[in-house]
Structure 1
Amino acid sequence: MFTLLQRGFNNPPPARNPPDAEGLFLILFCFGMLFVVFMIALLFLRSLSNCLKEVAPRNRQMWPGEVWYCLLPFIGIVWLIITVLRIADSLDNEYEDRRWKGDRDFGKAMGLAFAISVLVIGPPGGIFGLIYWIKISGYTRSLRNSPRRRSVSFDDDPTTYQRQSGNTVDENPWFQNIENEQDRERHRHEG
């Protein structure tokens, strides 16, 4: 037994072979693919954030910066589902506020299909993500390229309207709505 131990100490382990070119190429390829996927994810999330920036703050269900939580490990996929739902609700509110007709889906079905398919089948579910990305980019473009026509509600600040539009207080629809309400009330009580 002592001779076995002595033999083990006298014979060092064989030298490791340096990694071959194929193994090194495979490792670099995997890291390259991860980098490409990460860059695509950044562009995708930037597109979602830009969409929310085009929605009026009072119509948003989440802030534009909150989409970046999707990058967090483990909870990112759950946050993606929440993001898809909140963006759809925000777009619905914005379209309703502008008195536009939309499809009322606002990419919700495709976004949920993307999030769930990535969770279940992995990267092949990215085709749903591409379709969702195209839909959201279309909504962003339509919001960005059109004049901001929206309803005026009583929670709007009249001075903000005056600064943005350059109209005087007499032309402000906020005050006109108040006057119209007072006229209706007066006619209701008189009539």
Structure 2
Amino acid sequence: MEELLKNPDFQKLVPYLIIVFIVQILMWLLFANTIRTTLNLIKEDNRCILPNQAWLVALPLFNIYWNFVVVRRLTDSLNNEFYDRQIAIEEEPTQKQGYMYAGGYMVSNIPLPTFVGFMASIIAFVGFVLYWFKIYEYKKLLREPFEYRGAKDVDGRESEEGYL
């Protein structure tokens, strides 16, 4: 280890590693803000996670666990909200992309052979981008004005519950 630290080539790499770490933290903060603002568009009754808990995805190491929690709870929150709004969407919104990211990120943090870690990092990055865009897509859908529409019974009268 001492040889590695004394190596002048390694010392030239340190500033770049610090920059990469800072950029990663900034990306996680922007990602957490997207999750938080999406959750703010969901009624409190339909939320399975508090909006301010989204910031925990920006904490290194803890986010290995917390990404899985956010995926499950955000999916449930979106399901609840779109069910109440009577908007047809896929069955488990954001779940597939979220688990792809969370699983890839978890595996990339396990000390494994270099090739496996590299492949897991690529999967995590692709999952991260897909997950972020999927959340943003649903955020735009949630921003559209919501107007309650009562459901029609078989004979054409509106039901009291308002559900289809």
TM surpasses 0.5: yes
Of the candidates 11, 19, 25, which is equivalent to residue 38 of structure 1? 25
* 8 Å CA contact retained: 2:28, 2:57: no
CA RMSD of aligned residues (A): 2.4
Identity of aligned residues (%): 25
1:70 Cα deviation after fit: 2.4
1:149 Cα deviation after fit: 2.5
Of the candidates 39, 53, 78, which is equivalent to residue 52 of structure 1? 39
Once the two structures are superposed, the pairs formed by residues 1-191 of structure 1 within 5 Å of their partners are: 20=8, 22-121=9-108, 122-124=120-122, 125-144=124-143, 146-150=144-148
Name whichever of 82-91 and 115-124 sits farther off: 115-124
Larger RCO (alpha carbons 8 Å, 6+ apart):
2
Q: Which amino acid counterpart does residue 131 of structure 1 have in structure 2?
A: L
Unpaired runs of 5+ residues, structure 2, are 1-5, 109-119, 151-159
* 8 Å CA contact retained: 2:48, 2:76: yes
Q: Which amino acid counterpart does residue 148 of structure 1 have in structure 2?
A: F
1:37 Cα deviation after fit: 0.8
Which stretches of structure 1, 4 residues or more, deviate above 4 A after TM superposition? none
Aligned equivalent of 2:115 = none
Q: Which amino acid counterpart does residue 98 of structure 2 have in structure 1?
A: G
Could you say what secondary structure the match of 1:62 adopts?
coil
Unpaired runs of 5+ residues, structure 1, are 1-17, 153-176, 179-191
**Alpha-carbon displacement from aligned partner over 1:19-59 (angstroms, at most 9, x marks no partner):** 85x54431111101111111111111111111101111111
Q: Which amino acid counterpart does residue 140 of structure 1 have in structure 2?
A: K
CA distance in 2, matches of 1:83, 1:151: 30
CA distance in 1, matches of 2:20, 2:142: 34
Could you say what secondary structure the match of 1:34 adopts?
helix
CA distance in 2, matches of 1:26, 1:137: 35
1:75 Cα deviation after fit: 3.1
TM-score normalized by structure 2?
A: 0.74
CA distance in 2, matches of 1:61, 1:123: 29
Aligned residues, how many?
136
